[in-house]
Structure 1
Amino acid sequence: MSLQNQTAHLLRTLHKPGNPIILTNVWDAISAKAIASLPQTQAIATASFAIAAAAGLEDDHLTLDVNLRAIRAIAPIAAAYNKPLTVDFQDGFGDRLEEGIREILKLGVVGINLEDFGREMSVDGGDGKGGLYSISTAQERIRRVMAIAKEEGVPDFVVNARTDALLHGHPVAEVVERGKAYLDAGAANVFVWGGVKRGGMRREEVQECCREFGGRLNVSMKLTPGNLTLEELREIGVARISIGPQLMLKSAGFVAEEARRVLGV
């Protein structure tokens, strides 16, 4: 087993229902080093929203090249601290999916978030910009990722398959159907995104998805009062908790406040 696949296997084993891996997402070399240096950090994960913001872009306008530039800065830090690195890969950047996966594998990445909401025009023959991939297309994209990873000697590569079905008004039943299909296609875990406007996932939705996926559920935990706490999520039995761009947003507020103090405003 290659060293990279050993690291991928380690990342897989850190996904334990009821004792979840907790990811405090990073966006550049500075944030990566700050988080990697903490002994409690089990792995490094990026957040595409934060990477895009750091480049002056909206999340939907993040390109593969900009994402790779950030990953190239973060990957050596993860390696130096012996932390598995998983990266937010959006929908796989359309037709550049295979190209992008090969590039990040060269950088030592051992996992990705892969979304089922395509940002390209005419997803699965539909009209307009963006839309949910069909279940079969999303499965096929997961299989393509896993096939490339195996070809490159990393068969334990971790796909955290994100579904945006809930966010776009689809019922929980479809979320469950999609999640199970993605696990069958080779995903290690399912990330159900509820979205800020919707108020995230409700407790009963987390419970149902967790039960249906055998605990192989990733949720985004809000760092504000009144939301499900870490202990509550552990009790429900999720396997992975992330916080997305929240640290980046907090750090921006801190910088503004400190600058205001220095400027005497």
Structure 2
Amino acid sequence: MTTSTAEKATTLQSLHSAPEILRVVNVWDAISAKTVAALPETRAIATAGHSIAAMYGYEDGGMSLGLALAGAKTVVDAVDLPVTADLDDGYEDPAETIRRAIGIGVVGANVEDRLRPFDESVARVAAIVRAAEQEGVAFQLNARTDAIARGGDRPIQESIADAIARGKAFLDAGAPLVFVPGGHQREVVEQLVEGLGRGKLSVIGLPGALPASEYEALGVARISYGPLTQRVALRALRDLAADLYLGGVVPEDTPTLN
């Protein structure tokens, strides 16, 4: 049975508001989506924009909106689960980007502020929220601020304060969640949760991050893994290729996942 876009959006909304942290393992094409979706623990699917761009031969942030949506549609069509997509900065017209994303069945998105001026960043979030409301979908915007990731040489406390200020404004504009990459350390997460509220923060599980269960205890709503999943897969491919060149063979226990 195929679930409607509106139903998937409501499901994702409930997953975000649940007391348990939502773990989303990022994918980049149909087979990676199907492989992750086949696990009984999977409740939703997230695309990684960096990984989709790499699939098409582009640097992160370098592919067109058309390619970003085409990649997301491939994932949506492969699974019957809520799909949240990485849509970079929302492109030229973020409201139209979200309307088009909803049109292909996407029910949530990461959209980054790239440290645009404060008021402009908030206005873009508000435009996305209005567009989703007009489409009648409980679209789950994971509003990303780069206050820490692009903070440069400024003191970390200044970047944290900026992330909280921007995040609170995004929440006030209607975004369900605030994504703060670069802020995965315990002491930073504690401050972000205090500033934004429990169940409002989304983090990325970079190497050196805490286990998801510890973020859950701190009040984090969601954890994703960005391009790291593709990097692990590519390492496995590279290592197998190197072994084959040295005279190895494909392992007998290789599963038929495709």
Q: TM-score range by the shorter chain?
A: 0.7 to 0.9
- Fraction of identical pairs, as percent: 39
Distance 2:113 2:173 in 1: 13
Query: Would you say how many aligned residue pairs link Structure 1 and Structure 2?
Result: 238
From the superposition, tell whether residues 109 and 227 of structure 1 become closer, same or farther in structure 2 (CA, over 3 Å): closer
Aligned to 1:245: 227
- Once the two structures are superposed, the pairs formed by residues 1-265 of structure 1 within 5 Å of their partners are 3-16=4-17, 18-79=19-80, 83-93=81-91, 95-117=92-114, 132-154=115-137, 156-169=138-151, 170-194=158-182, 201-215=184-198, 216-222=200-206, 224=207, 226-264=208-246
Distance 1:76 1:167 in 2: 32
Normalised by the size of structure 1, how large is the TM-score? 0.85
Normalised by the size of structure 2, how large is the TM-score? 0.87
Q: Do 2:23 and 2:212's aligned partners in 1 also have CA atoms closer than 8 Å?
A: no
Distance 1:16 1:185 in 2: 17
Q: State the secondary structure of the residue aligned to 1:42.
A: coil
Cα distance per residue 1:224-257 (max 9 Å; x no partner):
4x43122221221100011111110011110111
Cα offset, 1:23, TM superposition? 0.5
Letter in 2 for 1:229: P
Q: Do 1:161 and 1:189's aligned partners in 2 also have CA atoms closer than 8 Å?
A: yes
Q: Do 1:17 and 1:237's aligned partners in 2 also have CA atoms closer than 8 Å?
A: no
Q: Do 1:18 and 1:236's aligned partners in 2 also have CA atoms closer than 8 Å?
A: no
Q: Do 1:47 and 1:244's aligned partners in 2 also have CA atoms closer than 8 Å?
A: yes
Q: Do 2:144 and 2:179's aligned partners in 1 also have CA atoms closer than 8 Å?
A: yes
Q: Do 1:44 and 1:86's aligned partners in 2 also have CA atoms closer than 8 Å?
A: yes
Letter in 2 for 1:174: D
Cα offset, 1:157, TM superposition? 0.8
Query: Which runs of 5 or more residues in structure 2 are unaligned?
Result: 152-157, 248-258
Q: Do 1:28 and 1:74's aligned partners in 2 also have CA atoms closer than 8 Å?
A: yes
From the superposition, tell whether residues 17 and 191 of structure 1 become closer, same or farther in structure 2 (CA, over 3 Å): farther
Q: State the secondary structure of the residue aligned to 1:206.
A: helix
Cα offset, 1:187, TM superposition? 0.4
Distance 1:191 1:36 in 2: 23
Letter in 1 for 2:227: P
Cα offset, 1:18, TM superposition? 4.9
Q: Which moved more, 1:35-44 or 1:141-150?
A: 141-150
Q: CA RMSD in A?
A: 1.7
Distance 1:239 1:186 in 2: 16
Distance 2:99 2:139 in 1: 12
Structure 1 runs (4+) greater than 3 angstroms displaced: none
Distance 1:229 1:18 in 2: 16
Query: Which runs of 5 or more residues in structure 1 are unaligned?
Result: 118-131, 195-199
